[in-house]
Structure 1
Amino acid sequence: MAKQLTALVSQVDAYLAANLADNCDQAILKESMGYSLLAGGKRLRPTLTMAVAKMLGTIVDDNVTRAACALELIHTYSLIHDDLPAMDNDDLRRGKPTNHRVFGAGMATLAGDGLLTLAFQWVSENDLAPAVRLRLVQELSRAAGPAGMVAGQATDVSATGQKLSLTELKKLHRQKTGALLRYAVLAGGIIANQPQEVLDALIGFGESYGLAFQIYDDILDVTATTAQMGKKTHKDQDKAKNTYPGLLGLDQAKQELVTALQTAGDYQAQIKEAAGCDVSILDEFLAYFKI
């Protein structure tokens, strides 16, 4: 991991560790929330927000970090709920037993609920400008809610065992995975008070990055080991999930990944032109994909 991104990940980890406990006074619930939130992870979503804000000239202080870390709370809640017996019934996440395996399905559900609601406290309870906080709340609500991530998860559940078209599959993943990554990039521009031209280019980058991320995750489920991923692999095929390799084959899925990354690169160039800034920090995020 490159130097700038490593520093941002450390900043996110430190903020989460220092601030989660202050917002929960129920001991078991706090332990369950912290178990998943502090288990590590790539922290791509909050670091994308912080990196974009920094790239656009904003000092990444505690207010920016707090708003960005709200996104990690939402991401972690989604993983806890995704792993539940009623959903994917997974046993391993980030190399550790899943939350419900340790705390039970009821407490795991509540831990996810706690992280979700705390996220909106963090994104709204800071010293960013009121208009910025309102826009972030609105955009995050759309990204995480029934028109975004939750809708994608619902389609994933209801379409299991059915074969979606490529158009339907892209919509599923645009909502389930892409919506939060799109928001992560857009949020950095909102925090930096950028004009619409820049925000549009950021949205394009975020959408392309989100698509690439999901395709890559689908590919890794086929090609990587459980030890490498920290979660069970080959489970998508076992559960008849809709994936890019399953629909297109592995080689064509890899080509779709290349195309998505090329599109992200095109939007990166547009950001540079529209904002007149050094966009090389985005290269550190694009380096995540090993193709």
Structure 2
Amino acid sequence: MVLGGLMMAFGWPALADPVLVAGLEYGQGVLRARSGECFAVTPKHVVGVGLGLEIVTTNRVRAPAELVTDLGDDIAVIRVDASGRLPCGMGWPRAESLGSTLQDAVTQGRQGVILRVRETGGIEAFGVRFASLAPRYIEVRPLSPDAEAFKGMSGSQLMLEGQPVGMVLDTEAGLIRAYRQDALNDRIKDFFTIPGIHRLPPSDLPIEPFKGSAVITTRTDVREAPSPWSPAHRSLSVGERIELNGKVVGLPWYRTPEGFVRKADTTTR
């Protein structure tokens, strides 16, 4: 089933930002932002030694990449040269446990989908059934007997009810093994934490959801709070892009993964 740009229509999260990764072999990855830079999380065996790396978006936009770190458990982070080519994802989410959710999915034999970015653009969805659970892994069984369809799946997102619950690592004996999303969040969180930057808890301010990105129209500071007198930890240049994840209710400020920017200094895309 080819989905292309229909992910939002099905309620799947825009922050997922899946990409095709071309490295030692073809695989998949997920874009994430950190301090204005763009990265992708992908299996290490897809990257290899990191030579000639490239990512391809669902819209067939290509960008070169380089290996940054190997975090073990076949998890790697690559830096993507996103300048002017593509927006990047949000910061890494908190490591909230999926134990009971995944245990119920296995016990009840529930169905999910695996999302894969196609080389020709767009996204394919493959139906699976949850089969077994381990502390860091979840195994699913494809609904289709065509095993050929699952080649190049490494790094794909495993979804349950519209939410990512794992990253595919390998396929063996008719089972697809994925790294659990909560375990992945925990493994990757230190890399995507920027030392010294204060982040307000979500409950500190009334925030209305606002997903998308903004292009800076005048030199702008990213501030710790939505106030021109709040401390700034980074400046953005004209033309630079930043991801948005909320709008402060009643105030002309957007919330970003790093802090707050003034609405008047941006144009949304």
Give the TM interval when normalised to the shorter protein.
under 0.3
Tell me the TM-score normalized by structure 2: 0.25
| TM-score with structure 1 setting the length | 0.24
More helix by share: 1
Higher relative contact order (CA 8 A, sep 6+): 1
Question: Counting strand residues as a fraction of each chain, which structure ranks higher?
Answer: 2
